[in-house]
């Protein structure tokens, strides 16, 4: 990575792409020194791909259902990503497990809409998370940005932000509050990476 030029980001997504849009908006606003060099989706015809094409970003689908297992799917994803200059891979509502090649160790980030290690793991995504938080009676939830390893929602934690659960919250009202926090925390973590300020010791991320 060259600290004087913007960070090259690959964005991986599976759906609507509001996380991608937020990143593009922050780059346009000049608060995130990065450029999105490619968008790869694990499903065909999702709106996130359209957002990418509207922003003139190379966009491709690598449908998860076309592959028998995580290994072959991951190989196809990394083959697509490696066609472009990439310093950091950003998962933006990407719902499939990936194998992490050594070259991408601590260079893949994910945002999870809860405070890991609570309310996370396989099947815990989007509204399922907020429904589980409300059903459990938790008073605080939040957002976690972390590096990605081979397990769901598991790698070293970069930033966390708390969000209160209010009486009468539904999954929709809670999601709205959590997503507002995501829109602040995720670009902040990416910017820290761009500035070379993140170092990983075991499970712990130090911010320099």
Asked whether the beta carbons of 26 and 187 are under 8 A apart, the reply is: yes
Residue with tokens 């989007």: 126
Q: Is 151 noted as a catalytic residue in this protein?
A: no
146 binds ligand GAR (CB under 6 A): no
Site string for ligand GAR, 5-44 (x = CB under 6 A): --------x-xxxxx-------------------------
User: What is the DSSP code string of 155-182?
Assistant: S-EEEEEEEEPPTT--HHHHHHHHHHHH
84, 112, 146, 154: which one is catalytic?
112
- Say whether 121 sits in a helix, a strand or coil: coil
Among 113, 142, 155, 187, binds ligand GAR (CB under 6 A): 113
We find the least distance from the C-beta atom of residue 123 to ligand GAR, in angstroms, to be 9
We find the least distance from the C-beta atom of residue 107 to ligand GAR, in angstroms, to be 18
- CA-CA distances (angstroms) from residue 18 to 2, 48, 69, 93, 180? 28, 7, 28, 9, 11
Judged by the rule CB under 6 A, the positions of this chain that interact with ligand GAR are: 13, 15-19, 92-93, 111-113, 125-126, 129, 153, 179, 182
- Active centre residues (catalytic): 112
């Amino acid at each position: 990575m060259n600290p004087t030029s913007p960070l090259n980001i690959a964005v991986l997504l599976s759906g609507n792409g509001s996380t991608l849009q937020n990143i593009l908006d922050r780059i346009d606003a000049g608060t995130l020194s990065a450029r999105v060099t490619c968008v790869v989706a694990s499903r065909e015809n999702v709106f996130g791909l359209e957002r990418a094409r509207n922003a003139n970003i190379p966009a491709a689908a690598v449908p998860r259902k076309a592959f028998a297992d995580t290994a072959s799917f991951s190989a196809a994803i990394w083959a697509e990503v490696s066609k472009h200059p990439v310093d950091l891979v950003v998962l933006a509502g990407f719902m499939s497990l990936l194998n992490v090649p050594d070259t991408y160790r601590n260079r893949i980030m994910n945002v999870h809409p809860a405070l890991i290690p609570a309310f996370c793991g396989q099947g815990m995504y989007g509204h399922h998370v907020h429904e589980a938080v409300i059903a459990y009676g938790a008073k605080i939830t939040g957002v976690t940005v972390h590096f990605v390893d081979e397990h769901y929602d598991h790698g070293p934690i970069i930033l966390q932000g708390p969000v209160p659960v209010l009486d009468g919250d539904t999954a929709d009202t809670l999601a709205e509050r959590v997503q507002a926090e995501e829109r602040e925390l995720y670009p902040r973590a990416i910017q820290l990476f761009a500035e070379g300020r993140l170092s990983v010791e075991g499970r712990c991320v130090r911010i320099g």
